[in-house]
Structure 1
Amino acid sequence: MFGGSGMNLITTVIGFGMSATFIVFVCTRMICRRIRASRTRRLMFQAESRIDLEQPEPQIRGVEPVVVAAIPTVKFSPEAFGSMEDAQCSICLGEYEEKEILRIMPKCGHNFHLTCIDVWLRKQSTCPVCRLPLHGSSEFNTEQPDM
């Protein structure tokens, strides 16, 4: 009787040991895969950062400050706007407040907070809403004609 019971105990211990070993193996593989993926992502990010630094700086496509200053401005008043839906800056999504200075785009008439559109126009030469370009506008040509 002791021999049969002993064999069952040994079989159970061996089965449990093999199961535990398999679970440890699978968990170790998963942890190693995550560490390797994390390291790969970090190396890719570093490589992309290095590539960005090594490339020449792109040409700024913004508008000259003189041209930006020539774009008309207006003080906001609720009476001047037909609907309050239009009384929001499309760049910062902030509501216009009484007597804030807004800049009105010359070609399309879209309006924005003065500071929001000035920052935008340093980097872009188009309206943020409809993408009409400011360049080529005869109203804001700052070059002097040749005489």
Structure 2
Amino acid sequence: MMSSGMNLITTAIAFATSVIFIVFICSRIICGRIRGSQSRQMFHTQSEIDLQQAEEQIRGLEPVVVAAIPALRFNSETFTYIEDTQCSICLGDYQEKQVLRIMPKCGHNFHLSCIDLWLRKQSTCPVCRLPLQDIGETKQIESCNI
């Protein structure tokens, strides 16, 4: 009789242990999903705030200011350095008689279409990041002095 009683107790303990283990695993899965959805919501909200702040900080130049930046036709004789014969934005080589814009402060040059597109969204030189914001103000002052 002793052995059948022991088998019953052992079976009951094994069953209870299995049930507790299954409940533990299910609760871990449920808690993990709840935490994951909360962190995704927090990340989504935080990323929206970051994007809004980034959009507010990105300010391009006005078309009038961009048009005031000097332009020049490319001529291989004029550009002596090999670095000067390639647009740093599109990485394309300059071809004869293409129109380039020359940044007034730093002297970097770019395809007209490449730099105009860049300056619609940014107000700095793409290479050295010098601000070009005060170009329009300088041009207005120069025109007043003439």
Counterpart residue type for residue 7 of structure 1: M
The TM-score, its normalising length taken from structure 2, stands at: 0.62
Cα distance in 2 for residues equivalent to 1:21 and 1:76 = 82
CA contact (8 A) 2:60 2:119 kept: yes
Q: Is the contact made by 1:67 and 1:140 (CA closer than 8 Å) also made in structure 2?
A: no
What RMSD, in angstroms, separates the aligned Cα atoms of the two structures?
A: 4.1
Deviation at 1:146, TM superposition (A): 8.7
Counterpart of 1:96 in structure 2 is: 92
**1:76, 1:101 within 8 Å by CA — same for their partners in 2?**
no
Secondary structure in 1 matching 2:144: coil
Q: Secondary structure of the equivalent of 2:110?
A: strand
SS at match of 1:145: helix
Q: In the alignment, is the contact (CA less than 8 A) between 1:103 and 1:117 conserved in 2?
A: yes
Q: Which runs of 5+ in 1 are unaligned?
A: none
Letter in 2 for 1:65: P
**How far off its partner does 1:115 sit?**
3.4
Higher helix share goes to which structure?
2
1:63 is aligned to 61
CA distance in 1, matches of 2:27, 2:72: 63
* Contiguous gaps of at least 5 residues in structure 2: none
Conserved 8 A contact 1:63-1:123 = yes
Report the 3-state secondary structure (helix = DSSP H, G, I; strand = E; otherwise coil) of the residue aligned with 1:103: strand
